[in-house]
Chain A
Amino acid sequence: MTLRNDSKATLGCFLALVTGLIFLGGCGGSSSSSSSTSTPAANNTAAVTVGFGPLGAAGGIVNGIYTSVTVCAPGTSNCETVDNVLLDTGSAGLRILNSALTTVPASSLGTIKDSSGDQLQECVQYGDTSYSWGPILVADVELAGEKASSVPIQVIGDNSFAVPSQCLATPVNPNLPNGGNEDTLATLGANGILGVGAFGYPLDCGSYCTSSSYLTQSGYPYYVCPAGQACSGTTVPYNLPSTSSNPDYQVTNPVAMFSSADNNGVLVTLPSIPALGAANGTVSGSLVFGIGTQTDNALASSATVYALDEYGNIPAFTYNGVSYTSPTNFSVLDTGAGALLFLDANTLASSGISECADAPGFYCPTSTVPFTVTVSGAINTSGTGTMTFNIMNADTLFNTNNAAFNDLGGDSGTSPASDFFDCGLPFFFGRSVYIGMMPGVFTGETAAPSGASSTYGYYAF
């Protein structure tokens, strides 16, 4: 079995947008015309809702946060708005279920092919050992009044090729539905994922996918599948800003490709909710594009700004006198996680936390436990700040049949050696949280506002 092919190892030299490219010049939204023109400010606010999502209560998802994304055939006004797309500050790039594209089917989007005519595919892995598999296609993407042209997106579940074994070298745990394949609404619980994470740069692979030396690594994401052969890893260049002569090919956070100046991050604002939660369909908030670019997204003077480290993590946090330091114990702000995934029940036993007997991994303290976590990396204060939150009995919360909770907690690992803090959606209620991308790295990306300068992106709240 040959996993390498020299002509494929340098795919980037031969990549061509087979459709879409010829329309680029005429579509008016080319990202090369970004910040120098003075156009009226775009409507930069998209609505978000929190709840069970498209599967309803039976789907078992709480604290899902969803928005709508408009996908257009490149260079055309042939557009379709897809609702129930998961807003995810824990990933980068737009992924849409093939089944959610109906009036603008995948076949109407631009394709990316190598010199042999083989189409670019991606197997994206998730931390729970699940995965999504499908081609990288090119679309114009609209979010509220913002537009991004020729955005590489993954259309998941639109694929007749077998998933490469190289991608699944980590076996899928049997308790994941559908063998860990997240290519359907039933498993994904959303019509897609809008990844707007900070993580240094707004790409899902970045420089790890531009060098041929990683092509045969387990878990490598990008492939081509020549007829009659196994899919093999391929390098994929990225170009930001994306232009007709230098298009971007990696799945990219569409926000970073906006033609407006609102391309340096997002602001997520959710209302406060009661301790026992809020019913499905009653919680809505806003996803504001840009930070410090319009009157509605100024970095609040009261906000503490935390610079992320080279891994895209908060550098360190301290709880109960114990310091947890990235990369061993990482922490992120993650709307894609439905709970406060904080340390583990044994470590938190002295704080009154115990694991639920009937819901493994969730926390069931007998009474609500307040937490104050000291966070390092603050760049506009004395170097540290605090995160405060409560954790309530998960059984009590689930018994309400509510769909949004600000105090749902669960474990991240099994001991301080493996623990982390995946700070999920509960933290976002009653707050305005800024997710700032790496400023100034890519030409055309609007710089961060004063006080938020950082090499690898930042959080502020």
Chain B
Amino acid sequence: MLSLGTVPAWAVLGQYESSVSVDQQYLRSEDRVQAFQAYKVHQLTTASGTIVREYISPQGLVFGVTWQGPFMPNMQQLLGSYVTNLQTASPAQTHVRHLRGLTVKTNDFVFVNGGHMRFWKGSAYVPSLFPSNVSAEVVR
């Protein structure tokens, strides 16, 4: 069985698609792939019912992730190096909804989390990694 101590802090957001398989192993999840014209989506479902979607550009890079489930996922795992953007955002780039939700908007990183007990959802994406002609609206 894998535990926090034995899995390296694999990046997903901003990394190549191959990191998805590591993520899948970590999340102990099932993988379903949907292909669209300009991108594809890996949907991973964990044992607890948390659904993680990872959006892959034609270049093979993960440009967005979403999550929804009873517990908040491991953001270090999902956001990879972009977790730094979450940890260094300035007050002007951050909207804290006390106890309720968080939005971080920087030029190259957008993060939203919210929900309530037993139902958390959110998304993160990197605008500069979006395929051409694909809007941020696809990351949902």
Contacts and interface: CB of A to CB of B under 8 A. Distances in A.
B5 interface: yes
Nearest to A189: B98
Contact of A175 (B96, B122, B140): B96
B101 A127 contact: yes
A218 interface: yes
Say which size band chain B's interface belongs to.
Answer: 35 or more
Nearest to A93: B117
B118 A336 contact: no
B75 to A, nearest CB: 4
A173 B50 CA distance: 22
Contact of B96 (A173, A208, A312): A173
A330 B4 contact: no
A173 B86 contact: yes
A220 to B, nearest CB: 6
A169 B113 CA distance: 14
B88 to A, nearest CB: 7
Interface in B86-140: 86-105, 110, 112-123, 136-140
B116 A312 contact: yes
A221 B1 CA distance: 20
Interface stretch (A68-76, A209-217, A263-271, A285-293): A209-217
Contact of B89 (A1, A175, A416): A175
Interface stretch (A197-205, A372-380, A437-445): A197-205
Contact of B112 (A170, A175, A218, A418): A418
Main DSSP-derived SS at the A contact region:
loop
Contacts of B96: 128, 173, 175-176, 361
B86 A90 contact: no
A90 B100 contact: yes
B90 to A, nearest CB: 8
B3 A127 contact: no
A128 B98 contact: yes
Contacts of A216: 1, 3-4
Contacts of A328: 68, 121, 140
B16 interface: no
- Residue among B87, B89, B100, B139 facing the most chain A CB atoms (10 A cut-off): B100
B140 A174 contact: no
B72 A334 contact: no
A81 to B, nearest CB: 23
B118 A410 contact: no
Interface in A179-225: 182, 189, 195, 197, 199-200, 204-206, 208, 213-214, 216-221
B43 interface: no
Contact of A128 (B46, B91, B102): B102
Contacts of B47: 213-214, 217
Interface in A140-187: 165-166, 169-171, 173-176, 182
A339 B136 CA distance: 26
Contact of B88 (A90, A174, A217, A410): A174
A129 B113 contact: yes
Contacts of B4: 1, 3, 165-166, 169, 216
A338 B98 contact: yes
A173 B104 contact: yes
Contact of B102 (A91, A173, A221): A173
A170 B87 CA distance: 10
Given A171-B87, A206-B118, A422 B3 contact: no
Main DSSP-derived SS at the B contact region:
mixed
A200 to B, nearest CB: 8
Contact of A218 (B71, B104, B119): B71
Contacts of B101: 127-128, 341, 412, 422
Interface string B42-77: 000011111000000000000000001011111111
A45 interface: no
Given A205-B117, A208-B118, A220-B71, 12 more contacts: A4-B3, A169-B76, A173-B96, A197-B116, A208-B71, A214-B48, A219-B73, A330-B121, A341-B100, A414-B103, A416-B137, A420-B114
The 8 tightest CB contacts between A and B, nearest first, are A361-B95, A219-B71, A417-B140, A169-B74, A218-B74, A219-B72, A418-B112, A170-B75
16 contacts: A125-B120, A128-B98, A169-B4, A171-B76, A173-B87, A175-B90, A175-B91, A213-B48, A214-B70, A216-B3, A312-B118, A328-B68, A334-B100, A336-B100, A339-B97, A410-B97
Interface of B: 1, 3-5, 46-50, 68, 70-77, 83, 86-105, 110, 112-123, 136-140
Interface of A: 1-4, 61, 90-92, 124-130, 165-166, 169-171, 173-176, 182, 189, 195, 197, 199-200, 204-206, 208, 213-214, 216-221, 311-313, 327-328, 330, 332, 334, 336-339, 341, 360-361, 410-418, 420, 422
